[in-house]
Amino acid sequence: MKKYYPEILVGIRLIFIAMILLTAPVFNHLNAWLFLEILGIILAAWAFYEIKSGNINIRPVVKKDAVLITSGPYRWVRHPMYLATLLVMIALIGEYFSYIRLTFLFALLIVIVVKMSFEEKELMKHFSTYTDYIKKSKRLIPFIY
């Protein structure tokens, strides 16, 4: 079980994202929810650009040749891709609200927090400077958490 823990976390995360996407339209109308959705997409693109394709890993494990990225959105939050995912999902649920979709969001948030904790333990093992990086950045929400 422990061997497959990263894959299980990824699978559960993708299931909850899919449940949110499949239960209402994927694009919002022109309003604040659309702005939040676009903001999440832009943040994801920026984080992806900064991390470079060789460093990307959907599983919460560190590649052997990985480089610690602390520029771009990583300067403020250690997990901007998770933040981007949450922004988009919150926007989708905000405009097309239902309690079941809200439940999926809370479940997704729990999975993301567990996945971040697992990932950060791995990053601390791999990068000696990760502890210093933790002191200079927030985990998920700039200036707050």
Percent of the chain with pLDDT over 90: 55
The answer to whether position 99 is within a domain reads yes
Q: What are the pLDDT digits (tens) for 94-141?
A: 989 999 999 999 999 999 999 999 889 988 988 899 999 999 999 988
Exposed/middle/buried for 89, CB within 10 Å: 0-12, 13-18, 19+? buried
The answer to whether position 59 is within a domain reads yes
The answer to whether position 31 is within a domain reads yes
The answer to whether position 142 is within a domain reads no
Nearest-angstrom CA–CA distance, 8 and 34: 31
The answer to whether position 144 is within a domain reads no
Average pLDDT, the chain: 88
Tokens linked to 70: 């602390």
CB-CB contact of 112 with 90 (8 Å) = no
pTM: 0.86
pLDDT-derived band at 63, boundaries 50, 70, 90 = low
Q: Write out the residue range of the structural domain in which residue 127 sits.
A: 2-136
Q: What is the domain-level CATH number for residue 124?
A: 1.20.120.1630
The confidence score (pLDDT) of residue 132 equals 92
The dihedral region occupied by 139, where left means phi > 0, alpha psi between -120 and 50, and beta the remainder, is alpha
Number of domain units in the chain = 1
Q: For residue 77, give the 3-state DSSP assignment.
A: strand
Exposed/middle/buried for 4, CB within 10 Å: 0-12, 13-18, 19+? exposed
The confidence score (pLDDT) of residue 65 equals 75
The answer to whether position 145 is within a domain reads no
**Contacts of the segment 96-101: beta carbons below 8 A, 24+ positions apart:** 96/23, 96/24, 96/25, 98/23, 98/24, 100/23, 101/19, 101/20, 101/23, 101/24
Residue 87 has pLDDT above 70, yes or no: yes
The answer to whether position 143 is within a domain reads no
The answer to whether position 141 is within a domain reads no
